[in-house]
Structure 1
Amino acid sequence: MKIGIFFGGPSREREISFAGGRTVYDNLDKSLFEAVPVFVDSRGNFILLNWEYIYKGTIRDFYPPVSALPRTELPWQVYIESLGELSQEEQDRIISEVGRRIQPQELRPLMDFAFLALHGPAGEDGAIQGLLEWYGIPYSGSGILPSAFGIDKIAQKKLLKALNLPTPKFRVLEESWALNAAHPKYLRGLVEDLGLPLVIKAPRQGSSLGISILKEEDSMAFTKAIERALFQHTITREEWAALDETARLAWVRRVTDIREGIGLPITALAAYAGFGAISSDYVIPVVDHPEALLNFLDQHFPKADEVRLRSTTGETQVLVEQFIAGREFSCIVVENERGEPLALPPTEIVKGDEMFDYRSKYLPGLARKVTPIDLPEADIQRIRQQAQTMFSTFGFQVYARLDGFIQADGTIFLNDPNTTSGMLPASFFFHQAAEIGLNPSQFLTYIIRTSLVARRRSGMAPTKLEEQIRQLDAAVAARAAEERTRTKVAVIMGGYSSERHISVESGRNIYEKLSSSVKYEPVPVFLTGSSQEFRLYVLPINVMLKDNADDIREKVEHLEAGHGLHPILERIRREAQAITSTYAGQPTAQPRRVSFEELAQMVDEVFIALHGRPGEDGALQRELEKFGLPYNGSGVESSSITINKFETNRRLREAGMRVAEHRMANRLEWDADPEGFYRSLETQFPYPFIAKPADDGCSSAVKKIKNRQELEAFTRLIFRQEEPLSEAEATTLSLGFKEEFPQKDAFLVETLIDRDGAAHFLEITGGLLTHWTDGGELQIEVFEASEALATGEVLSLEEKFLAGEGQNITPARYAPDLTERQRISEEVKKELRRVAEILNIQGYARIDAFVRVRQNGAVEVIIIEVNSLPGMTPATCIFHQTALAGYTPYDFIDQILEFGKQRTASAVAQIENR
């Protein structure tokens, strides 16, 4: 079957949709389905996307393409709507660089089925469902009416109230009234009616966008919450004047962001004292580009009293709800083989703040997901029964995600159902399906089959769909009967460093790429313990898809302590037995601890998906070599060098490479004389400079130190004896919520690398892959580097790994002229190849650097660090680079594994020949 995957879209959730579409594309069973990627841009164009762009980190990495971006002084990150009004011909030219435009009438010949990974308006509201109905294309999930109902929080609450089902008390404010509702007497009335805190929501958005919690009866805070829900924003003259140039840029980026701010396009209105009302003389009907907004604000301040900004795609109503104090959960409900709702085990969301926001939802490690929720079996069963009732009441089909709260007295409130759940690798959608034994590939097959049944039941081409269902059932049965001999690969993930959560993301991605192939059979292995003792656990799929490394460790330790399977899981697995017996083929196992010797007997080779220590330091490689297990990446000696940024810099400098001025700052020196320690650093490194751990990656604790106060805070945190962070120091360094900060006995200090008068200056990250020639020589293939655009002082964890955050331009924009750009690129690649040769890097690696291009064309490459086991998350930029060289992510991983096998075979042969 040809499966058209619809992803992207015009909504504010387009980046999560894009990442989810990629997950579906990767996990479709290749023996049953052919994936057809249909990217929907924010103007609603359908684009048959070239495969290499599916693996970009964000939509803005490739669309609009660099060639279509207007010339600007600043590196703005924009979507196609920021290009203003475009003719059909202009849009076609832009689209042709990434794929080809599909007219709606072309959809039917291209696909047998549409898998919808779209979110929000134009994705979950019945619009795309109606289009597909018109052309007779069966699609995933609910139909037109339940989809339209599922996105409208106000309609949902009115129905729940009419049916006397539990729902928080609420009020609906119309836009014209809402903007005046912050008057103390209106706010007083809401507080008297609904109590405090108040929950203020945008009624037709997902991913917690447009939501605020008002804890106090504060008119100003209430006004901001109302504006947030309407996707509007007001800035005063005093607020603008208090910002310096850098802060103004950051403010514009934030307010024009589709998740954190109000997005673009917007209308801008400047209000002046003395006019009585807003003067139409100072209204810009539409602002498309962030630079145009910056110019508008600079032009009208300081004379204007305030500027009011309003999204052209904002809301017109505000939903104000009573705050529900309770334990938050989410429950996926699917239709079983008889078309009846079956609630999967509900997951509790354990977070550090009142709101499960966009960042907490999608960045691993910020919130804990406990499945099943830790409650008595009877209470969990009540949650499941109420979720199943809501599923039926709203007429949902195939699957839905239902969120809610359970209070201390047992009262259950369900709210905000989603007819299209997020589909990132560890989302609730896959996370809960794994608890009944279905891996992502198997669950997607079941969803497609169940959707075909739902469309047939609703009257769409019943004879044709009956035949499609019959053919799919036969193909599934035939696949289950197949016996394949595949290479077993242990994918080791986790660890115990601050990079453990990203390691799990990398490991899961490798597992999913290999599991959908015909060549490899991946075995997920979790590593925990300490540098003195590595503990290895073979994981079943349900444990591998726990939210993060801490959840996985807690689960394996729980089972190792002798605790059995939760009774509710036993019950649900019995209820789902007809599904799992057909699609999973085997019962869910339990985690099992293994030794390295046992691992060597189980698998043919290893893929190390660990980052930092352990993993990149050579210690694990040494253990694997004892048992002759081939592995990815560099060998023991090279790994032990590249893990240490100071030693890496020292060796590169000795070989004539450019690196930052650097030194180690040691705890013993600080303990002996703190003031002398600080003065010594300040003498050698004028502010600002960079401070960071010498042996951690993933932007862990990398800080731009601008003054003595920040230096002292950084030093106290990294040299601290206790694990909890000091709030004062964390505030001084502007640490994010749950941002980890390692404890070390030394840290690395470097000069801040800047433009230094260069005509062009940019930060890049370049990947490489090594091969053996027929003559046994090592050949290094260096890819086109990516240009990394940081919105803050350094690239953040979110910008590197969170879907839709940050931006990487591949290939890097060294020069406008293509011939000159390529000349510079070859110079850069030559330098990166030298780094690999000096450090004896093998397998693959990622090298971060700054590039200066002088007025006379001279190219300077300043090396920052080397990652011998770079992140392999779905959005990592190394996949953008390999795609340009013609490697799919699977091809790249296959090359890495083949190199490791050849290296081991060569080493064995050398020993035998001695």
Structure 2
Amino acid sequence: MRIGIFFGGPSREREISFAGGRTVYDNLDKSLFQAVPVFVDSHGNFILLDWQYLYKGTIRDFYPPVSALPDSEHKLQVYLESLGELSQAEQDRIIGEVGRRLRPDELVGLIDFAFLALHGPAGEDGAIQGLLEWYGIPYSGSGILPSAFGIDKIAQKTLIHALGLPSPAFRVLTADEFDAADPAALLAYLQKELGLPLVLKAPRQGSSIGVSILREADPAKFATAVERSLFRRTLTKDEWQRLGPQDRVAWAQHLTDIRDGIGLPVILDSDDEKVYYHPDELLRALDQKLTLQDAVRLTNTQGEQQVLVEAFVQGREFSCIVVEDVDGRPLALPPTEIVKGEEMFDYRSKYLPGLSRKITPIDLPEADIQRIREQCEQLFRTFGFQVYARLDGFLTSSGEIFLNDPNTTSGMLPASFFFHQAAEIGLNPSQFLTYLIRTSLAARRRAGLQPVKLGRKLRQLDEAVAGRQHEQKPRTKVAVIMGGYSSERHISVESGRNIYEKLSSSAKYQPVPVFLSGSSENYQLHVLPVNVMLKDNADDIRDKIEHYGAGHDPHPVLERIRHEAAQITSTYAAESVAVPEKLTFEQLAERVDAVFIALHGRPGEDGALQQQLERVGLPYNGSGVQSSSITINKFETNKRLRDAGLRVADHRLAARLEWEADTERFYQELEAQFPYPFIAKPADDGCSSAVKKLKNRAELEAFSRLIFRDQEELLEDAARTLSLGFKEEFPRKEVFLVETLISRDGARHFLEITGGLLTHRRPDGGRDIEVFEASEALATGEVLSLEEKFLAGEGQNITPARYAPEPAERQRISDEVKQVLHRVAEVLNIEGYARIDAFVRVRDTGAVEVIIIEVNSLPGMTPATCIFHQTALAGYTPYDFIDRILEYGKSRSEKLELRS
């Protein structure tokens, strides 16, 4: 069956939709379905996307393509709408660089079913559902009417209250009412009606976009919150004049962000004759207008016209996925409690691993959990939802349940509620998607959409699923080791899950998820059942392992739900839900044929784990013991590269013993060798962990105190000095690395790059090194952040790197860069694959200087990591790349056996 996956779209949630579409594409059972990627751009065009663009980090990394971008002073990445009004021919030319435009009437001949991973307006509102029904194409999720209802928070609230169901009190505020009223008087009225705090929401948005919590009766803060929900922003002359040139660019970049700002295009004040599409022209206009007037108001042309104002509910927050069972009845999966460190479950907390915790099922008495499930099922029926929905709510201290903001499309990232709760009944992502496709076909047929044709499709799919269950093809068992105990453990879990999913949807491999915990003196390995593997982050997985290790019985609510879902799982799941199983390396060797190490930093990249695997004869990915023990140490890596004649930053180790012996001298010696600003970072951690640009003595002192601290908790004053983000981790070390800040140094062109490589075994036993086109990494702050590397839609990576505007010159520089990266791999004896980070300077003479920053022998393998962008350009799908890595490890193991 040909499954058209619709993702992207014009909404503010397009990046999460893009990442979710990729998850669906990767996890569809390849023996049952053929995936057809249909990217929807911000003008609503359908594009049959060339597969390699699926693995870009963000939409802006490939669309609009670089060739379509206007000359830009500040080089900010933009979406298609920032190109202004485009003719059909201009749009077709842009589309042609990434795929092929699809007319709606072409869809009938191209796909058999539409899987909708779109979010927000034009995705969840019934519009695309109506179009597909017009052409007789079955689709996933709810139909037209429940979708239209599910997008409208005001309509939902009105019906919930009319039915007498518990829900926070609310009022609706229109933009015209707000503009005509005195903010203080309006706030006083709302405070009287609803109390404080107030929750203000954009009524047609998801992912917590346009949401604010107002905790005090402050008219100015109230006005700011209303404007946030209307996607407007008032800027005063004083605010603007306090910003320097670079700060103004950063302000514009934040303002035009579709998730946290108001987005583009905008109008200024009430003048809708002039529309500003591009950040550069907006900056020029603001400079001009704010010399003539005291303030301007920016309004997004697609902003909201109403604000939903709710009474704040103090309670425990939960989210519950409800699916239809095989008979079409609603079945609530185990509700998940959201434990936050901040007051609001915002975009960043929802999608960056480790910032919030998801506890499934919510830690409550069985009767209370059952009440939540029953109310969610009732609301599912009341709203006429079909196939699945996500219902959010609160449980107050008095035991009252408030349901809020039902969603007809849930986020589909690998560890989202969607897959997380399905795993608790034993369905992995691939199996759950198969079930949803089958359930959606049945729902469309019940609604009268081509009942004979869809009845035939249902029978064919049921027969194929039954046949799949009885297949007995031997597959290579691969242990995917993830987790660890370093500050990189959450990203390691993301990498491991991605490898697991790529392998599990193949016909060649059978992945076995394994979690590593313990310490460097005592590794502990546990085979994970899928429900534990899909916990939110590494700490949740570790806690669940300890829970089972303490001899706890399965939660009675989980037992009940698994019993209710037995007809689903017996058909779609290969095995029942198990518990984590501890095993030794020797037992692992009996269980699997090979290992994929998805760990980052220590342990994993240091050679110690590789030594254990070689001891028990298990082939593994990446470099061998000796090379890994060198590349884990940034100081030793730099030394070896410099000795080989390669460029690296000036560097030295700063030790705790020196700091404790004479703190002032310690600081003075560093300052004498490294003028401010300079870089300080751990010598053996990656993933941007604790990498800081230190600009003065106070920051150096704060960095030293944090990294040399005795206690686990951060020192609050030092954390504030370094502006550490919420839940940003900072490891404790005995030494740290200090490096000269690499600068432009008068070069014509200067950029940061990251380049991947893959090694191949030759027939004579030697190896060839294939270096891919490097990616250009754009940091919005002082160094690349964790979010920019791993949060969907956050990072900016351009592949191939823009060394020069002319193609021939760009390729000349690229070839020189690749030669240097090739030399790095030779010097360090890298095997399998690696990622090398560097700065590149291009002089006016054309001379190319490559300064190596660090080498990662086990680079991040999260779904959108830039190494997949690079391998796609070379013709490798992510699965192909992973397969080559495993095959190289196998050949090296065979070579070692022959030697022994």
Fold shared, TM-score > 0.5 on shorter chain: yes
- Find out whether 1:625 has 2:614 as its counterpart: yes
- Residue 517 of structure 2: aligned partner: 528
**Matched residue of 1:865: which SS?**
strand
Is the contact between residue 183 and residue 222 of structure 2 (CA under 8 Å) also seen in structure 1? Answer: no
- Find out whether 1:743 has 2:746 as its counterpart: no
- Residue 806 of structure 2: aligned partner: 817
Offset from partner CA, 1:242-261 (integer Å, 9 cap, x none): 11222111111000000110
Once the two structures are TM-superposed, the CA of residue 374 in structure 1 deviates from its matched residue by: 0.1
- Residue 175 of structure 1: aligned partner: 175
Once residues 149 and 881 of structure 2 are traced to their aligned partners in structure 1, the CA distance between those partners, rounded to angstroms, is: 43
Aligned length, in residue pairs: 900
- Residue 401 of structure 1: aligned partner: 390
Out of 583, 608, 613, the position equivalent to 1:594 is 583
Once residues 827 and 853 of structure 2 are traced to their aligned partners in structure 1, the CA distance between those partners, rounded to angstroms, is: 15
Once the two structures are TM-superposed, the CA of residue 73 in structure 1 deviates from its matched residue by: 2.2
Out of 712, 715, 721, the position equivalent to 1:726 is 715
Once residues 183 and 45 of structure 1 are traced to their aligned partners in structure 2, the CA distance between those partners, rounded to angstroms, is: 41
Once the two structures are TM-superposed, the CA of residue 285 in structure 1 deviates from its matched residue by: 2.1
- Residue 324 of structure 1: aligned partner: 313
- Residue 326 of structure 2: aligned partner: 337
Once residues 796 and 698 of structure 2 are traced to their aligned partners in structure 1, the CA distance between those partners, rounded to angstroms, is: 31
Out of 557, 565, 568, the position equivalent to 2:546 is 557
Superposed, which structure 2 residues align to 1:406-425 within 5 Å?
406-425=395-414
Once the two structures are TM-superposed, the CA of residue 725 in structure 1 deviates from its matched residue by: 1.3
- Find out whether 1:850 has 2:801 as its counterpart: no
- Find out whether 1:489 has 2:478 as its counterpart: yes
Once the two structures are TM-superposed, the CA of residue 353 in structure 1 deviates from its matched residue by: 1.2
Once residues 309 and 728 of structure 1 are traced to their aligned partners in structure 2, the CA distance between those partners, rounded to angstroms, is: 37
- Find out whether 1:509 has 2:490 as its counterpart: no
Once residues 489 and 181 of structure 1 are traced to their aligned partners in structure 2, the CA distance between those partners, rounded to angstroms, is: 65
Letter of the 2:857 counterpart: S
- Residue 889 of structure 1: aligned partner: 878
Offset from partner CA, 1:656-676 (integer Å, 9 cap, x none): 110011111111111122211
Is the contact between residue 347 and residue 372 of structure 1 (CA under 8 Å) also seen in structure 2? Answer: yes
Superposed, which structure 2 residues align to 1:16-35 within 5 Å?
16-35=16-35
**Matched residue of 1:535: which SS?**
strand
Offset from partner CA, 1:98-126 (integer Å, 9 cap, x none): 00000011011100000000000000000
Superposed, which structure 2 residues align to 1:708-857 within 5 Å?
708-857=697-846
Letter of the 2:845 counterpart: N
- Find out whether 1:120 has 2:120 as its counterpart: yes
Out of 445, 450, 472, the position equivalent to 2:434 is 445
Once residues 96 and 131 of structure 1 are traced to their aligned partners in structure 2, the CA distance between those partners, rounded to angstroms, is: 24
Once residues 793 and 416 of structure 1 are traced to their aligned partners in structure 2, the CA distance between those partners, rounded to angstroms, is: 38
Letter of the 1:328 counterpart: E
**Matched residue of 1:10: which SS?**
coil
Change (3 A) 1:893 1:242: same
Is the contact between residue 179 and residue 226 of structure 1 (CA under 8 Å) also seen in structure 2? Answer: no
Offset from partner CA, 1:216-265 (integer Å, 9 cap, x none): 00111101100000000011111111112221111110000001100011
- Residue 211 of structure 1: aligned partner: 211
Once the two structures are TM-superposed, the CA of residue 75 in structure 1 deviates from its matched residue by: 2.2
Once residues 236 and 716 of structure 1 are traced to their aligned partners in structure 2, the CA distance between those partners, rounded to angstroms, is: 40
Is the contact between residue 765 and residue 847 of structure 1 (CA under 8 Å) also seen in structure 2? Answer: yes
**Matched residue of 1:36: which SS?**
strand
Change (3 A) 1:483 1:730: same
**Matched residue of 1:207: which SS?**
coil
Is the contact between residue 152 and residue 203 of structure 1 (CA under 8 Å) also seen in structure 2? Answer: yes
Once residues 804 and 424 of structure 2 are traced to their aligned partners in structure 1, the CA distance between those partners, rounded to angstroms, is: 51
Letter of the 1:90 counterpart: E
- Residue 77 of structure 2: aligned partner: 77
- Residue 187 of structure 2: aligned partner: 187
Offset from partner CA, 1:477-498 (integer Å, 9 cap, x none): 1111111100000000000000
- Find out whether 1:235 has 2:235 as its counterpart: yes
Superposed, which structure 2 residues align to 1:236-635 within 5 Å?
236-269=236-269, 285-635=274-624
Once residues 737 and 177 of structure 1 are traced to their aligned partners in structure 2, the CA distance between those partners, rounded to angstroms, is: 36
- Find out whether 1:643 has 2:629 as its counterpart: no
Letter of the 1:700 counterpart: S
Once residues 65 and 233 of structure 1 are traced to their aligned partners in structure 2, the CA distance between those partners, rounded to angstroms, is: 29
**Matched residue of 1:353: which SS?**
coil
Is the contact between residue 58 and residue 806 of structure 1 (CA under 8 Å) also seen in structure 2? Answer: yes
Once residues 303 and 875 of structure 2 are traced to their aligned partners in structure 1, the CA distance between those partners, rounded to angstroms, is: 41
Once the two structures are TM-superposed, the CA of residue 178 in structure 1 deviates from its matched residue by: 2.0
Once residues 180 and 27 of structure 1 are traced to their aligned partners in structure 2, the CA distance between those partners, rounded to angstroms, is: 51
Letter of the 2:113 counterpart: F
Once the two structures are TM-superposed, the CA of residue 88 in structure 1 deviates from its matched residue by: 0.6
Once the two structures are TM-superposed, the CA of residue 879 in structure 1 deviates from its matched residue by: 0.3
- Find out whether 1:200 has 2:189 as its counterpart: no
Out of 661, 673, 676, the position equivalent to 2:662 is 673
Once residues 184 and 174 of structure 1 are traced to their aligned partners in structure 2, the CA distance between those partners, rounded to angstroms, is: 16
Once the two structures are TM-superposed, the CA of residue 301 in structure 1 deviates from its matched residue by: 2.7
Is the contact between residue 179 and residue 223 of structure 1 (CA under 8 Å) also seen in structure 2? Answer: no
Once residues 405 and 285 of structure 1 are traced to their aligned partners in structure 2, the CA distance between those partners, rounded to angstroms, is: 44
Query: Could you tell which deviates more after superposition, 490-499 or 685-694?
Result: 685-694
**Matched residue of 2:403: which SS?**
strand
**Matched residue of 1:803: which SS?**
coil
Once the two structures are TM-superposed, the CA of residue 181 in structure 1 deviates from its matched residue by: 4.8
Is the contact between residue 410 and residue 418 of structure 2 (CA under 8 Å) also seen in structure 1? Answer: yes
Once residues 324 and 191 of structure 2 are traced to their aligned partners in structure 1, the CA distance between those partners, rounded to angstroms, is: 41
Is the contact between residue 74 and residue 249 of structure 2 (CA under 8 Å) also seen in structure 1? Answer: no
- Find out whether 1:865 has 2:837 as its counterpart: no
- Residue 272 of structure 1: aligned partner: none
Letter of the 1:687 counterpart: Y
Once residues 852 and 105 of structure 2 are traced to their aligned partners in structure 1, the CA distance between those partners, rounded to angstroms, is: 52
- Find out whether 1:704 has 2:709 as its counterpart: no
Once the two structures are TM-superposed, the CA of residue 640 in structure 1 deviates from its matched residue by: 0.7
- Find out whether 1:37 has 2:37 as its counterpart: yes
**Matched residue of 1:663: which SS?**
strand
Letter of the 1:316 counterpart: Q
Is the contact between residue 330 and residue 381 of structure 2 (CA under 8 Å) also seen in structure 1? Answer: yes
Letter of the 1:777 counterpart: G
Once residues 682 and 239 of structure 2 are traced to their aligned partners in structure 1, the CA distance between those partners, rounded to angstroms, is: 36
Once residues 149 and 729 of structure 1 are traced to their aligned partners in structure 2, the CA distance between those partners, rounded to angstroms, is: 49
Once residues 575 and 789 of structure 2 are traced to their aligned partners in structure 1, the CA distance between those partners, rounded to angstroms, is: 37
Once residues 147 and 848 of structure 2 are traced to their aligned partners in structure 1, the CA distance between those partners, rounded to angstroms, is: 55
Once the two structures are TM-superposed, the CA of residue 284 in structure 1 deviates from its matched residue by: 6.4
Query: Could you tell which deviates more after superposition, 236-245 or 561-570?
Result: 236-245
Is the contact between residue 126 and residue 148 of structure 2 (CA under 8 Å) also seen in structure 1? Answer: yes
- Residue 905 of structure 1: aligned partner: 894
Offset from partner CA, 1:864-908 (integer Å, 9 cap, x none): 000000000000000000001110000000000000000010011
Gaps of 5+ in 2: none
TM superposition score normalised by structure 1: 0.98
Letter of the 1:106 counterpart: E
Offset from partner CA, 1:651-696 (integer Å, 9 cap, x none): 1111111001111111111112221111111111111111111111
Is the contact between residue 182 and residue 222 of structure 1 (CA under 8 Å) also seen in structure 2? Answer: no
Once residues 73 and 826 of structure 2 are traced to their aligned partners in structure 1, the CA distance between those partners, rounded to angstroms, is: 37
**Matched residue of 1:804: which SS?**
coil
Once residues 332 and 220 of structure 1 are traced to their aligned partners in structure 2, the CA distance between those partners, rounded to angstroms, is: 38
- Residue 275 of structure 1: aligned partner: none
Is the contact between residue 478 and residue 512 of structure 2 (CA under 8 Å) also seen in structure 1? Answer: yes
**Matched residue of 1:459: which SS?**
coil
Once the two structures are TM-superposed, the CA of residue 468 in structure 1 deviates from its matched residue by: 0.5
- Residue 222 of structure 2: aligned partner: 222
Once residues 311 and 791 of structure 2 are traced to their aligned partners in structure 1, the CA distance between those partners, rounded to angstroms, is: 31
Offset from partner CA, 1:602-641 (integer Å, 9 cap, x none): 0000000000000001110010010010000001111011
Once residues 490 and 546 of structure 1 are traced to their aligned partners in structure 2, the CA distance between those partners, rounded to angstroms, is: 18
Gaps of 5+ in 1: 270-277
Change (3 A) 1:600 1:525: same
Is the contact between residue 182 and residue 220 of structure 1 (CA under 8 Å) also seen in structure 2? Answer: no
- Residue 273 of structure 1: aligned partner: none
